């Protein structure tokens, strides 16, 4: 998937200034970088919920998007999945996969942050999407839930051959799941390549400094 150059400005501050990019088909791409580097802005533009400066951005239909802040609908946990059109049996199976079956008939508003994140991811992955945009999907999850979510995502990607863009602050997560890594700094693309290239053998001094700071 070829992307045009993307810029985004808020007031007098340009928060994103990227060259033309190419997302490899059927690949998980992770976007890493410090806070304020433009990761979430890029995710929102790719998902179609935010317009770039030129106002023109066309991505594919049926994009699955999980924003940084997960949310439940004001209904039961089970109905949060059935709202996608899934039948009861399929929805229950999905809840079981995510370890939420025991909460099926509870109000989704009573879930913890980690449970809400699992529900939001379950709601997206119950449908097949050619493109997934996931912004810090496991940030609120504990270690066990994070590893489960990564396993489910990898299985989903293998089954559907979808393209995934995953924003993450976890460099170890990027190593576990990524085929390609993009490192953003101050709204610019500093380095890109395979997970091994970028995370273990970076070419750019700024990337090395970032990785050293976060002690990968």
Q: What is the pLDDT of residue 59?
A: 67
Q: Is residue 75 part of a domain?
A: no
How far is CA 111 from its chain centroid? 21
Mean predicted confidence (pLDDT) in 73-80: 96
**Which residues 6+ apart lie within 8 Å of 133 measured at CB?**
43, 46, 47, 63, 64, 65, 66, 165
Alpha-carbon gap, residue 210 to 177, rounded angstroms: 20
pLDDT tens string 164-185: 999 999 999 999 999 999 999 9
Q: Is residue 84 part of a domain?
A: no
pLDDT tens string 197-207: 999 999 999 99
Q: Is residue 64 part of a domain?
A: yes
Q: pLDDT-based confidence at 24, cuts 50/70/90?
A: very high
Mean predicted confidence (pLDDT) in 113-120: 97
Domain that holds residue 13: 2-70+129-213
Alpha-carbon gap, residue 71 to 169, rounded angstroms: 20
Q: Is residue 106 part of a domain?
A: no
Q: Is residue 32 part of a domain?
A: yes
Contacts for 18-26: CB closer than 8 Å, 24+ residues apart: 18/42, 18/187, 18/188, 18/189, 19/189, 21/182, 21/189, 21/192, 23/163, 23/165, 23/180, 24/163, 24/179, 24/180, 25/1, 25/161, 25/163, 26/157, 26/161, 26/162, 26/163
Q: What is the DSSP letter of 72?
A: -
Q: Is residue 48 part of a domain?
A: yes
Q: pLDDT-based confidence at 194, cuts 50/70/90?
A: very high
What is the CATH classification number for the domain harbouring 62? 3.40.50.300
* 104, pLDDT greater than 80: yes
Q: Is residue 87 part of a domain?
A: no
Q: Is residue 111 part of a domain?
A: no
Q: What is the pLDDT of residue 87?
A: 97
Domains in the chain, number: 1
Kindly report whether the global pTM for this prediction surpasses the value 0.85: yes
């Amino acid at each position: 998937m070829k992307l045009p150059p993307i810029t985004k400005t808020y007031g007098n501050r340009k928060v994103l200034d990227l060259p033309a990019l190419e997302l490899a088909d059927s690949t998980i791409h992770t976007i890493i970088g410090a806070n304020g580097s433009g990761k979430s802005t890029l995710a929102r533009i790719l998902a179609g919920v935010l317009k770039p400066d030129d106002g023109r951005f066309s991505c594919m239909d049926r994009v699955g998007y999980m924003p940084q802040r997960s949310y439940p609908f004001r209904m039961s946990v089970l109905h949060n999945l059935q709202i996608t059109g899934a039948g009861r049996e399929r929805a229950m199976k999905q809840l079981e996969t995510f370890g939420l079956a025991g909460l099926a008939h509870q109000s989704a508003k009573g879930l913890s942050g980690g449970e809400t994140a699992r529900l939001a991811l379950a709601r997206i992955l119950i449908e097949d999407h050619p493109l997934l945009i996931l912004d810090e999907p496991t940030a609120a999850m504990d270690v066990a839930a994070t590893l489960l979510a990564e396993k489910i995502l990898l299985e989903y990607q293998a089954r559907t051959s979808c393209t995934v863009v995953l924003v993450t602050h976890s460099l170890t997560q990027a190593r576990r799941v990524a085929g390609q890594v993009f490192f953003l700094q101050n709204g610019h693309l500093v380095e890109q390549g395979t997970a091994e290239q970028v995370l273990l053998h970076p070419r750019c001094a700024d990337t090395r400094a970032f990785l050293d700071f976060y002690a990968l």
